[in-house]
Structure 1
Amino acid sequence: MKIIRICVWRFDLPLTKPYWLSGGRLKFEALDSTFVRIDTDAGLSGWGEGCPWGNTYLPAHGPGIRAGIATLAPALLGRDPCALEAVNRAMDTALPGHPYVKSAIDMACWDIFGKASNMPLWRLFGGETADPVAVNSSISTGSNEEMIALIRDAYAEGYRTHSAKVGGSDPARDIARIEAIEAALEHDETVTYDVNRAWTPAVAIQVLNNVGLRGWVEQPCQTLAQCAHVARRVRQPIMLDECLHSFEDHLEAWKLGACEGVKVKPNRVGGLTKARQIRDFGVSVGWQMHIEDLGGSALADTAAIHLASSTPAENRLASWLCHHHLAIDPVAGQGARNSDGFAVPPSAPGLGVAADVERLGDPVAIYS
């Protein structure tokens, strides 16, 4: 089987309401998503999606994906899409770095591999059954009252795990915010306080040593070294996210004892192939993991849910579904969706989701 064509679409995904993180310093209103379809000479096609969360959250942006695919395409045409490791080596040779560029290609190849094997991705990733995956809400920065109202709305939709955005240079404000949220929780709820790198180490230590909470603290500071410094001086479990871009970063985090868990996001680390390697490492060292993607429609969400579902329950935390925040749905009725706080991956061969070409419109590029 050989790749004969790569089609690329650009698609805007507006959010239902503006979203703030990092203590309100970063605002997002729409996402720039790239959909990819890989066609083969065997008549099988695979779909992938790459969608950075804006262009200020990480060193990634939507136009960069499409420019990178133009660079990668000549190295991919004629290759066997089922040879996943070889495909990834070819991409890393043709374009060192830029992992976010490669995720949609890798996802589409996994979709083809699953169809050729007549197995869903969760099975190929090691799962025995399509285990339901708990889903978590994502609560934008706002006033204490606004954030608590959003948590109560999410609870009514089945969410029992929440990610609340905090952070900034005012320790007293964050202490008050965390205390207010904790006091408003039901007995079966937990909150991860996601700082998105917005604290200095001193502020992180001051805030966390003055609050009691039942959940996690995520990415308190900018760098891995800073987060490791904080982790040694507070009692709350630390979750790392934005400072981990490669397997080597995850290995270093483990060596430093910088965290008890990580977020594994295929688009950030280069695709499902590399996300699975990191997931397996996390299992081996006893981490707990949120497995979810950076952004995108239910297509990208479903790929991550396949990987999450196949992860041992003791290592698996809840997954965020970006499509919950979108005003439009380019894969309506398909994929893993929230059903009373859980999402189940499809059991059809491959990804189990295909974009509607008529909805996407004309491709912005075709490589053949």
Structure 2
Amino acid sequence: MKITRISVFQIVTPFPQGYSLSRGRTWTSFESTIVAIETDAAIVGWGEVQTMGGNYLPAFAKGAIAAIDELAPHLIGENPLQIDRINYLMDHFLFGHPYGKSPIDMACWDILGKATGMPLCDLLGGRFEGGLDLMCDPKVGSIEAMLAETAAFREKGYRRMSLKLGGNVAEDVSRMRAIFEHAQPGEEYYADCNRGWTRDQALRVMRQIRDLDVYIEQPCYSYEDCLAVRRRTDHPMILDEIVDSPEMVMRIIADSAADLINIKISRVGGLTKARRARDMCVTAGIPMTIQDVGGSGIVQGAIYGLAQSVPKELRHSVYNPLARNLSDGFTDAPIPIQGGGGVVEASDRPGLGQEPLPGSLGDPIAVYGGRG
């Protein structure tokens, strides 16, 4: 089998109510770059990366498009089933830019699944039992707004709550205490400042919430600051934004820097490298949350497929990229929440289990190769 054609599509989805994180970062739209890889076997694979501006992660939509433009000509004629070779070639021809490589890698896994008739979780090692507990992310705001949003998620059945915080010590402590007054049995909370605290601020927060049963997620910008905070608090630590490669996962394990690791597929460079990171965590016995920045049902299928391949006891939560209703209507089989209980299971359809609806993506913005 050979790659004959690579097409690139772009979707900009307005989000007029805005999505806010610490340090005043707010976005009113999200951009998805979607890749279709065609083969001489008449199999088409789909992949996607979505970005939030240019100041959340070192990733932005124009960069993804430019990276694909750099990579795609080198992949025409290659066998998409040889996924490790595809990843080697991408790393050889373009240093860094993992988010630009992710949709290509994802599309190759989709092709492999369709060629073998196997769903993604089986390709990644096998389906482990149990549903996937969804994580929600009440966005930073006033105490009243966050209480209302948390309650709304609770009504939908969510039991994993990632509380977005703003970076101000007093305000963040007040937010958490107010929310914990309404916490219900069985719920678990992440205090997620998205790198918004300095080291001293993080330590002040930790001191004031020692009585709260909460995970601390990515408190500071740098790895060194997060590690220093971890060594001075008894709260369990999650690392997120800095987990940008399997190599970083190795470092985290060696330093005992986290109790839970968040693997975002596009941030580490695609499903292939996310699988490598997963295997390291399984070997070390470190639980995981499986996520990506966002996207349509294509990304949803990738997240759920990877998460279902994680042993149940190490699978802490997953993120539903459709939770913000950003990309509904682009794919044919978005996976619903089971019985409104905040739980899902990966698709048993081949590959990612998702196909864009005809005409939903518009015309490609770039095409490489010809028809096979």
| TM-score, with structure 1 as normaliser | 0.96
Question: How many angstroms does 1:359 deviate by?
Answer: 1.1
When residues 327 and 257 of structure 1 are mapped into structure 2, their CA distance, relative to the original with a 3 A threshold, is closer
Deviations 1:60-107 (A, max 9, x none): 001111111111011100000010100000000111111000000000
The one-letter code of the counterpart of 1:349 is P
Query: What's 2:352 paired with?
Result: 351
Instruction: Give the match's secondary structure for 1:207.
Output: helix
Contact preservation (8 Å) 2:330, 2:361: no
Deviations 1:316-362 (A, max 9, x none): 01111121113441435513332321122111111110112401111
Stretch deviating more after TM superposition (326-335 or 61-70): 326-335
Query: What's 1:40 paired with?
Result: 39
Query: What's 1:172 paired with?
Result: 170
The one-letter code of the counterpart of 1:346 is S
Query: What's 2:342 paired with?
Result: 341
Query: What's 1:22 paired with?
Result: 22
Question: How many angstroms does 1:31 deviate by?
Answer: 0.6
Question: How many angstroms does 1:143 deviate by?
Answer: 0.9
* Distance in 2 between residues matched to 1:77 and 1:333, nearest whole Å: 28
* Distance in 2 between residues matched to 1:288 and 1:130, nearest whole Å: 16
When residues 219 and 151 of structure 1 are mapped into structure 2, their CA distance, relative to the original with a 3 A threshold, is same
Contact preservation (8 Å) 1:13, 1:296: no
Provide structure 1 residue ranges, at least 5 long, that are not aligned to the other structure: none
The one-letter code of the counterpart of 1:30 is S
Query: What's 2:189 paired with?
Result: 191
Instruction: Give the match's secondary structure for 1:359.
Output: coil
What are the equivalent positions in structure 2 for 1:87-106 lying under 5 Å apart? 87-106=86-105
When residues 90 and 327 of structure 1 are mapped into structure 2, their CA distance, relative to the original with a 3 A threshold, is closer
Contact preservation (8 Å) 1:137, 1:163: yes
Is structure 2 residue 229 aligned with structure 1 residue 252?
no
What are the equivalent positions in structure 2 for 1:43-122 lying under 5 Å apart? 43-122=42-121
The one-letter code of the counterpart of 2:18 is P
Is structure 2 residue 190 aligned with structure 1 residue 222?
no
Contact preservation (8 Å) 2:129, 2:312: no
Contact preservation (8 Å) 1:20, 1:140: yes
Stretch deviating more after TM superposition (217-226 or 159-168): 159-168
Instruction: Give the match's secondary structure for 1:318.
Output: strand
* Distance in 2 between residues matched to 1:352 and 1:16, nearest whole Å: 30
Question: How many angstroms does 1:186 deviate by?
Answer: 1.1
* Distance in 2 between residues matched to 1:19 and 1:11, nearest whole Å: 18
* Distance in 2 between residues matched to 1:366 and 1:89, nearest whole Å: 22
Contact preservation (8 Å) 2:332, 2:357: no
Question: How many angstroms does 1:164 deviate by?
Answer: 0.7
* Distance in 1 between residues matched to 2:84 and 2:20, nearest whole Å: 37
Deviations 1:87-138 (A, max 9, x none): 0000001111110000000000000001111110011112235742110111
Alignment root-mean-square deviation, CA: 1.4
Contact preservation (8 Å) 1:123, 1:129: no
When residues 64 and 208 of structure 1 are mapped into structure 2, their CA distance, relative to the original with a 3 A threshold, is same
Stretch deviating more after TM superposition (102-111 or 206-215): 206-215
What are the equivalent positions in structure 2 for 1:230-241 lying under 5 Å apart? 230-241=229-240
Instruction: Give the match's secondary structure for 1:36.
Output: strand
Contact preservation (8 Å) 1:125, 1:276: yes
Query: What's 1:326 paired with?
Result: 325
Question: How many angstroms does 1:19 deviate by?
Answer: 1.1
Question: How many angstroms does 1:253 deviate by?
Answer: 1.5
* Distance in 2 between residues matched to 1:348 and 1:332, nearest whole Å: 14
Question: How many angstroms does 1:189 deviate by?
Answer: 1.4
* Distance in 2 between residues matched to 1:217 and 1:195, nearest whole Å: 8
When residues 338 and 79 of structure 1 are mapped into structure 2, their CA distance, relative to the original with a 3 A threshold, is same
* Distance in 1 between residues matched to 2:158 and 2:356, nearest whole Å: 27
| TM-score, with structure 2 as normaliser | 0.95
The sequence identity of aligned pairs, in percent, is 39
Query: What's 1:149 paired with?
Result: 148
Instruction: Give the match's secondary structure for 1:17.
Output: strand
* Distance in 1 between residues matched to 2:342 and 2:302, nearest whole Å: 18
* Distance in 2 between residues matched to 1:33 and 1:242, nearest whole Å: 19
Instruction: Give the match's secondary structure for 2:322.
Output: helix
* Distance in 1 between residues matched to 2:139 and 2:294, nearest whole Å: 15
Query: What's 1:201 paired with?
Result: 199
The one-letter code of the counterpart of 1:19 is Y
